[in-house]
Amino acid sequence: MKNREENQPVRTQTDGTCSPKRQMEGASGCPRILIAGTGSGCGKTTLTCGILYGLLQRGLHPCACKCGPDYIDPMFHSRVLGVETGNLDSFFTDRETMRRLLAREKGDLCVIEGVMGYYDGCGFTEKGSASEIAALTETPVILTVNARGMSRSVLAVLRGFLAAQTEQNIRGVIFNQLPAKLYPDIRREAEAMGVRALGYLPRIPGAAFESRKLGLVAPDEIQGFRKKLGLLYETMRETIDWDSILALAKEAPGFACIPEEKDGPDGRGVKIAVAKDEAFCFLYQDNLEFLKALGCEILFFSPLREKEIPEGADALILNGGYPELHAAALEANTAMRQAVSRAVKDGMPVIAECGGFMYLHERLQGEDGKEYGMAGVLHGECHKTSGLARFGYITMEAEKDNLLCPAGGTLKAHEFHYYDSTLLPDAFTAKKTGGSACWKAGVADKRMYAGFPHLYFYGNKEAAYAFVRAAKEYGHRAGI
């Protein structure tokens, strides 16, 4: 019993009150923490999901966000919480926009998951990094340190991350894959560095999340996700200092009331059909909220199962996802392929990103290596490459007037794909952020944007406005 008590985190009791900063008049936004990591694969997602699940088990109502452009980790968060979650991205948006997005989060506590290593951003900079987002949003950070294969050396890792700070946001640390017997000594020395030791996770083989494609995996690919969460929490309830995590979150200052933006077209009456199923699952919830704020109605549909685009749709969004895993089923749904082809050729405005872009081709090579027929809007085929074709933030300059911007206009985007197309893109010149590489990207005209790059509407507001205006114009025309 003595050893077990020694290995327990120090429990800090809290009276539930907020810090003076949180009590400012007109302050908004719930208490929050950011779970950062020393690098990809250190256990950020496991720890974030475990904390969210644990907060639910303790009778609280948490919410969540993901740093950066990732679609997949928010799926994990949504699976835990049962509600859609959003992103925070300092490449796409400015400080005020991020704070506005955070201020609208409703819950007892917002858990923000970091991206890559804490200081990793565009190129060899901190732009877009978890450290920059923590600074811009004044969010306390809990650093996840993977201790596998180490003992005292984890302290050197922690000391290095603390010394590298330009702003003192790392306020707590949790050690992952740490043997219980090492925690008392490591906790004592970590706290001597001025950081709170908030617990540890021993190695739990039955609770491991399988990875796919750079450590990312759709939740539907995980067998027994709920069972693993339960197993994870059974350990975390004993090894994590929950009271101190709650107290730390309440130290985050509230935001002064930030008025909602009033710019943009009146989208009332505009209906936008959005593909959403297992094949088309990569979509930013924030993009949908952006369209709803303009008054647009979102109509979800499944290219896998349904035969028609939703009746009365004025525009179409084909999201990214895994069409290559469902190529046979997509091909078999001839009615939907023809419906999409008719709509686009009729002039319905369409945004087709990555997987949606692949679906518009004549043919798609599935994961099994076979070729399957797709919508046939674009004359060409998509095929698997030997590795990651492109990855990272880009800025695109339009070569000609198109659906989203005039010639010379720019869009911020993100690419992450293993497939390529036989089409010769000519709509934009793309430049890698933080680098010198340039290439042609996307196909576009006055009614279509299609390409591998993903767009985030809060970082491309004028492009989103142009899309809604085109949808409204199409709706008026179709109604004549």
Place of tokens 């109604």: 479
Give the C-alpha separation, 93 to 198, whole Å: 31
Q: Do β-strands 410-417 and 390-398 pair in parallel, antiparallel, or remain unpaired?
A: antiparallel
Give the C-alpha separation, 53 to 133, whole Å: 24
Question: Hey, what are 351's tokens?
Answer: 């945004």
- Residues recognised as catalytic: 354
Give the C-alpha separation, 280 to 357, whole Å: 11
- Fill in the DSSP letter of residue 282: B
Q: Nearest-CA neighbor of 30 among 126, 101, 120, 94?
A: 101
Instruction: Determine the straight-line distance between the first and last CA of the chain, rounded to whole angstroms.
Output: 79
Contact 73, 10 (CB under 8 A): no
Contact 289, 461 (CB under 8 A): no
Strand partners, 273: 299, 316
Q: Do β-strands 361-365 and 378-384 pair in parallel, antiparallel, or remain unpaired?
A: parallel
Give the C-alpha separation, 365 to 8, whole Å: 53
Output b/e per residue, 336-367; b: 16+ Cβ within 10 A: bbebbeebbeebbbbbbbbbbbbbbbbbbbbe
CB burial class (10 A; 0-12, 13-18, 19+) of residue 408?
exposed
Contact 460, 287 (CB under 8 A): no
